[in-house]
Amino acid sequence: MSDSPISAPATPLNPRRRGILVGASGGIGSALSRKLARDGYILALVDRNKAALRSLCDEINQTAGETRAVIYEHDVTDYDSVPDLLRRIIADIGGLDLFVYLAGIIYFPDINEFNFKEDRKVMEVNLLGAMAWMSEVAPLFQSAKSGQIVGISSVAGDRGRVANPANSTSKAGLSTYLESLRNRLTRHGVHVMTVKPGMVKTDMLRGIQKPMFAAEPEQAADMILNGIRKRKQTIYTSGIWRWIMLVIRHIPSFIFRRLSF
């Protein structure tokens, strides 16, 4: 954990919103962390890459001139550690208003490759890690009758493409899980938002030669922040992907089967 205690605790005259970002040091996570901190949030930045977390945290705190962020090293496949870690973070930052799950991995199999070992890792990080965290956060927000949960899914979950079965499956599962949470929690005053990025220029796109309609991470983060403020249910980043996916979702299966992307 970061060695600096939170220097700006919430008081009745200075209410502070508090957020946890899991997968905070990645491209979209770090852009969103900076924006939330500028918006006045106290943040717990969680990721497995301690050096990247520390540098992001130092940057945020130096810019703010006070401790707005603290860090926690965690591998999201260490599911059993989540309940205790969540309790510790909430005690450290003094409460919780927003939870964002961004952790994700991808690999690019050959069209003829079937690789359970790699597929399993994708499912464990993209889906099971999210469920491990959200199933601890959801009951807390449900009993508090407030709170916001944001899950970063993907346009990949809208259709099962030939290119990447595990990535599509993990994100379809995450989108469906988030929809279920939303249907359970909206009646308790809790907001749940599904984010479906198209292509965003982060390390994740390293294996792609010509990214299509690729957004900057800052642009994706702006749209996520706007969705949090407006309590949107599902957003595409960037907006053009809503229309691209509208078309792709309606391609009949007998044609979609013949496509090679």
Ligand X SMILES: NC(=O)c1ccc[n+]([C@@H]2O[C@H](COP(=O)([O-])OP(=O)(O)OC[C@H]3O[C@@H](n4cnc5c(N)ncnc54)[C@H](OP(=O)(O)O)[C@@H]3O)[C@@H](O)[C@H]2O)c1
Contact 234, 154 (CB under 8 A): no
- 49/219 with CB nearer ligand X: 49
- 8 A C-beta contact, residue 213 and residue 236: no
Number of residues that bind ligand X (CB under 6 A): 26
Query: Does 154 engage in binding with ligand X (CB under 6 A)?
Result: yes
Q: What residues contact residue 77 under an 8 Å CB cut-off, 6+ apart?
A: 124, 125, 128, 129
Considering only residues 62-121, where is the footprint of ligand X by CB under 6 A?
75-77, 102-105
Question: In angstroms, what is the minimal distance from the CB of 251 to ligand X?
Answer: 20
Shortest spacing between CB 187 and ligand X, in angstroms: 27
Element (H, E) at 50: helix 50-64
* Residue 108 beta carbon to ligand X: minimum distance, rounded to whole angstroms: 12
Q: Residue 36 has which token pair? A: 């939330």
Beta carbon of residue 199, minimum distance to ligand X (angstroms, whole number)? 4
Q: Give CA–CA dist 83/36, Å, rounded.
A: 24
CA 130 to chain centroid: 9
> Alpha-carbon distance 25 to 38, whole Å?
16
Burial label for 49, CB within 10 Å (0-12, 13-18, 19+), is middle
SS3 234: strand
Residue from 203, 207, 254, 255 touching ligand X (CB under 6 A): that is 203
Q: What is the distance between the alpha carbons of residues 1 and 45, in angstroms, rounded to a whole number?
A: 9
Positions in 9-48 near ligand X (CB under 6 A): 23, 25-29, 47-48
> Which of 205, 225, 244, 248 touches ligand X by CB under 6 A?
205
Q: Which residue number, 16 or 121, has a Cβ lying nearer to ligand X?
A: 121
Determine the residue with CB nearest ligand X: 26
Task: Tell me if 152 contacts ligand X by CB under 6 A.
Answer: yes
Specify whether the CB–CB gap between 49 and 25 falls below 8 A. Answer: yes
Cβ atoms 100, 21 nearer than 8 A: yes
6 binds ligand X (CB under 6 A): no
Which residues are paired to 148 by β-bridges? 98, 191
* Residue 8 or 163 having the CB closest to ligand X: 163
* 199 part of the interface to ligand X, by CB under 6 A: yes
Task: Please say which residue, 142 or 176, places its beta carbon nearer to ligand X.
Answer: 176
Q: Minimum distance between the CB of residue 127 and ligand X, rounded to whole angstroms?
A: 10
Exactly one of 61, 148, 202, 238 binds ligand X (CB under 6 A); which one? Answer: 202
Residues near ligand X, by CB under 6 A = 23, 25-29, 47-49, 75-77, 102-105, 125, 152, 154, 197, 199-200, 202-205
